[in-house]
Chain A
């Protein structure tokens, strides 16, 4: 019921909202929870396991019960705490975990079956027969369990991340937090003040950045704190260009923990009926939101703190039937306050149980002298004491310590730079407390953990079955799990275990807290880094040119490369076949910019190459290029490429596309850490130079028209593996390499990246008379398989130089990375799967990557596996399917017929093991 005055709501701004389809009205400043209570809506959800009717327990982020599905469509969010949702016009919320309706929930039968659902029921009930698990039990459990439903649609909102730096971070803007912020600010410190609630009284102090709706959820090393600011969650939709939430990484020299305390429920039978609330929450609803959560209340306490609750209720229109004080004697604070409002106090008494159907209607009180008194009421305000909200103090492994005087854990060791103040430090809470961890006779309807339906009986059962250690208790009963992480439950549960085992609470221990303090949307952590902002596209310098020719593109890592250039009516295979044949017979061009390019300079550059490559480099002449192989220090192949010597102390290395960054980092490692004495420097030039392969028997004819006349491009001047600087197209600086990946007479021409598209167009124009074609990565791949060049599928991190037929590249005369470990006998064993070619016996059979290789007469079982197909293609040059594969003893099995087995794609046929170089094995075309 809404009170006529008071609170910080704005009565001039009514807001309409719906809950389960029914319309209600609240005010600006309400939460969904306060607005529901103002409309006398008490039943808001069903519990997780027993589907018991549940209401609103708290007024804060600790809420275990009042979880709703908020919003609709793509913005629907399950398990949203009604106590943390600020009301806005048009808000739509639905209760969850009920069928068909909140009032008539069929699965509430689970409550009657509770003996089956007690602690550990998952482990006991669904054990037998095992075959039922996958087909019956698991789908059934998944349907019945869980809470709300996900939207199932892409999140339409945006998120941001940012960094903040300050001298002092104050966590919590209650009385103690504001005081701490003020004290630090007047001394000139830069202060950030975070509070998880909506802005209350404006905090406007110089030097203080106030972040309301911001939860500090984690403490990390080096004074780093994680916080989520709910920028737009109090609005129907975010304002234009505003994120929904912002994830702040806050770096603070010091921090002040002013997070207050979280109240403990009393554990008695039916303490989960809607209308049973934490006493502090009742006070908050009255004073902050001007809502009376009930008309007639019973207050159940064991310490002095609830006097203010009594006052708040007394000053409102509410009637208070009784104060039930579990302490043997009540205290003057309570007695005087009760007397002021003429409320009877029953000391030494307990609420034995609450009664009611979908909400509390009365309570049974056991008095000190053994009598039973029944009070009609629609609200039970309970307080078993308060627990300091010290979660953040244990994120860096510190443990809280038990304080017997206030019967609560208080911070002990703190993260570096942190100070705890106010209730978070245990100050001024639980005065004159006599702990009451559960009411005598609390049974399987006396809830300790509301969210997980863990009862006092479950904890006794866990003890009886030997799950006594705190961490076992948690896992066996699920106490303290799920979205609230046991904020209201953990200490009660721990104390009940202590009682059951006859130990003290500190002897029993405490579960420690890990981040996040409250649930954090993954979207907030990802921030803007999703989609293309997570994985941006790298365009090659010839992208626009290729697009204008109708190229189909393919993603290779971040790069978008031309895959093939279809003519009208051609599919990918027809286009690829045409491109391959054109290159083999005439000439073609292909953008190879994506290969990593590293410029290496310095007097010790050659020595450095000797260290990182397996083969020899000191004898490479200026103007020449060479293939190089890199190993990891454990002896396996890391990468390969060519390196050209452009000057006395100047080399240009290429790497594979995939490993460009990794190789660069590796070179830095080798230079800075392993061979620091070498005078060498390098820099990545992948993005600075466009590089185009020009391949085919007519490539020299085309080249002659592109390279300026001052440069001789004859076979005598630019022989195979020559390299040098030239100018092209009338003065454009360029680099010319006579390299061939295709196996044809071929060149690679590099020009500054901005000229890449122009160069491609110029090559096409120059080659028109020779039948030039552009070719893409498909044709590139086919030709490299035809030539037996290992690439990414073969350089898979598990192959050695010997496996790939590169044994001869391991120099015996010098040290290099991986040298010693590559000499391990097992890495040179010919029995290891090593590189072969495969040719189907029946030429119409299609070889596919990933197919397994078996002896031709072997059963297809894993034990008989001898290798697999690494790369496969249709060879238009040979007219049948070909493949590279790694096969045990492969090098010595050329000519053997083996079985190619590919059960998931129905492949099972015979193939001949052949030399991996299918095309021009003598290499005569390269040297043409």
Chain B
């Protein structure tokens, strides 16, 4: 598998660590109580048959966290963004 890191270019799978689902969002100001919203954020994951957004870490590279859009059936990667940019976009 190859991932095109926005900083480093196309690199092999062995440079990256898989983290998990990029579609779940940590409750901002979600409070101190273990609400269902928190439980969903920590434990509940979808396993879509098709495109999915995932967090990867360029461990043996630039240390950037990446949001990789990947088809879970074909493994085709259609987009790679830095997590930082995506997270800033989510704020604005």
Measured between beta carbons, the chain B residues less than 8 angstroms from A163 are 12
Interface positions of B from 4 to 36, Cβ below 8 Å from A: 12-13, 17, 19, 26-27, 29-35
B45 at the interface (CB under 8 A from A): no
**Which residue of the partner chain A has the closest CB to B14?**
A249
Measured between beta carbons, the chain B residues less than 8 angstroms from A416 are 76
Measured between beta carbons, the chain B residues less than 8 angstroms from A556 are none
Q: How far is the CA of A319 from the CA of B51 in the complex (A)?
A: 63
Count how many chain A residues have C-beta atoms less than 8 Å from C-beta atoms of the other chain.
Answer: 28
Q: Do residues B34 and A249 form an inter-chain contact, with CB atoms below 8 A? A: no
Interface positions of A from 204 to 224, Cβ below 8 Å from B: 220-224
**Which residue of the partner chain A has the closest CB to B17?**
A665
Q: Do residues B32 and A668 form an inter-chain contact, with CB atoms below 8 A? A: no
Which of B19, B77, B88 interacts with A676 by CB under 8 Å?
A: B88
Q: Do residues B1 and A220 form an inter-chain contact, with CB atoms below 8 A? A: yes
Measured between beta carbons, the chain A residues less than 8 angstroms from B83 are 672-673, 676
B78 at the interface (CB under 8 A from A): no
Q: Do residues A820 and B63 form an inter-chain contact, with CB atoms below 8 A? A: no
Q: Do residues B65 and A668 form an inter-chain contact, with CB atoms below 8 A? A: yes
Output the least CB separation between B7 and chain A (Å): 12
Q: Do residues A820 and B2 form an inter-chain contact, with CB atoms below 8 A? A: no
Q: Do residues A815 and B77 form an inter-chain contact, with CB atoms below 8 A? A: no
Output the least CB separation between A601 and chain B (Å): 16
Which of B1, B17, B41, B91 interacts with A221 by CB under 8 Å?
A: B1
A669 at the interface (CB under 8 A from B): yes
A167 at the interface (CB under 8 A from B): no
Contact with B along A256-275 (1 / 0, CB 8 A): 00000000000000000000
Which of B32, B75, B84 interacts with A819 by CB under 8 Å?
A: B32
Q: How far is the CA of A177 from the CA of B63 in the complex (A)?
A: 42
Q: Contacts A669-B65, A672-B82, A820-B30 hold; do A249 and B12 have CB atoms under 8 A apart? A: yes
Which of A222, A251, A815, A821 interacts with B34 by CB under 8 Å?
A: A821
Q: Do residues B2 and A669 form an inter-chain contact, with CB atoms below 8 A? A: no
A823 at the interface (CB under 8 A from B): yes
Q: Do residues A669 and B29 form an inter-chain contact, with CB atoms below 8 A? A: no
A922 at the interface (CB under 8 A from B): no
Contact with B along A656-687 (1 / 0, CB 8 A): 00000000010011001110110000000000
Q: Do residues A669 and B19 form an inter-chain contact, with CB atoms below 8 A? A: yes
A812 at the interface (CB under 8 A from B): yes
A725 at the interface (CB under 8 A from B): no
**Which residue of the partner chain A has the closest CB to B66?**
A672
Measured between beta carbons, the chain A residues less than 8 angstroms from B19 are 669
Output the least CB separation between A42 and chain B (Å): 47
A535 at the interface (CB under 8 A from B): no
Contact with B along A632-646 (1 / 0, CB 8 A): 011100000000000
Output the least CB separation between A310 and chain B (Å): 47
Q: Do residues A677 and B88 form an inter-chain contact, with CB atoms below 8 A? A: yes
Q: Do residues B88 and A251 form an inter-chain contact, with CB atoms below 8 A? A: no
Measured between beta carbons, the chain A residues less than 8 angstroms from B27 are 820
Output the least CB separation between B31 and chain A (Å): 7
Output the least CB separation between B88 and chain A (Å): 5
**Which residue of the partner chain B has the closest CB to A818?**
B42
**Which residue of the partner chain B has the closest CB to A665?**
B57
Q: Do residues A668 and B34 form an inter-chain contact, with CB atoms below 8 A? A: no
Measured between beta carbons, the chain A residues less than 8 angstroms from B57 are 665, 668-669
**Which residue of the partner chain A has the closest CB to B88?**
A676
Measured between beta carbons, the chain B residues less than 8 angstroms from A672 are 64-65, 82-84, 87
**Which residue of the partner chain B has the closest CB to A815?**
B29
Measured between beta carbons, the chain A residues less than 8 angstroms from B39 are 821
Measured between beta carbons, the chain A residues less than 8 angstroms from B34 are 635, 820-821, 823-824
Q: Do residues B32 and A673 form an inter-chain contact, with CB atoms below 8 A? A: no
Output the least CB separation between B74 and chain A (Å): 8
**Which residue of the partner chain B has the closest CB to A633?**
B42
Measured between beta carbons, the chain B residues less than 8 angstroms from A251 are 2, 12
Q: Do residues B42 and A676 form an inter-chain contact, with CB atoms below 8 A? A: no
User: Which of A221, A223, A224, A633 has the most C-beta atoms of chain B within 10 angstroms of its own C-beta?
Assistant: A221
Q: How far is the CA of A821 from the CA of B31 in the complex (A)?
A: 10
Which of A224, A812, A815 interacts with B12 by CB under 8 Å?
A: A224
Measured between beta carbons, the chain A residues less than 8 angstroms from B55 are 669, 673
**Which residue of the partner chain A has the closest CB to B26?**
A674
Q: How far is the CA of A875 from the CA of B42 in the complex (A)?
A: 42
Which of B32, B35, B42, B65 interacts with A634 by CB under 8 Å?
A: B42
Measured between beta carbons, the chain B residues less than 8 angstroms from A815 are 29-30
**Which residue of the partner chain B has the closest CB to A684?**
B63
Contact with A along B59-71 (1 / 0, CB 8 A): 1000111000000
Q: Contacts A224-B1, A824-B34 hold; do A665 and B59 have CB atoms under 8 A apart? A: yes
User: Which of A222, A669, A824 has the most C-beta atoms of chain B within 10 angstroms of its own C-beta?
Assistant: A222
Binding site for B on A (CB under 8 A): 163, 220-224, 249, 251, 396, 416, 633-635, 665, 668-669, 672-674, 676-677, 812, 815, 819-821, 823-824
A-B residue pairs in contact (CB < 8 Å), sample of 10: A163-B12, A633-B42, A665-B63, A668-B63, A669-B57, A672-B64, A673-B84, A676-B83, A676-B87, A820-B38
Binding site for A on B (CB under 8 A): 1-2, 12-13, 17, 19, 26-27, 29-35, 38-39, 41-43, 55, 57, 59, 63-65, 75-77, 82-84, 87-88, 91
List 7 A-B pairs, minimum CB-CB distance, nearest first: A222-B2, A676-B87, A221-B1, A672-B84, A221-B75, A672-B65, A820-B38
Given contacts A221-B2, A665-B17, A821-B38, 6 further A-B contacts (CB under 8 A): A222-B77, A416-B76, A668-B57, A672-B65, A674-B26, A676-B84
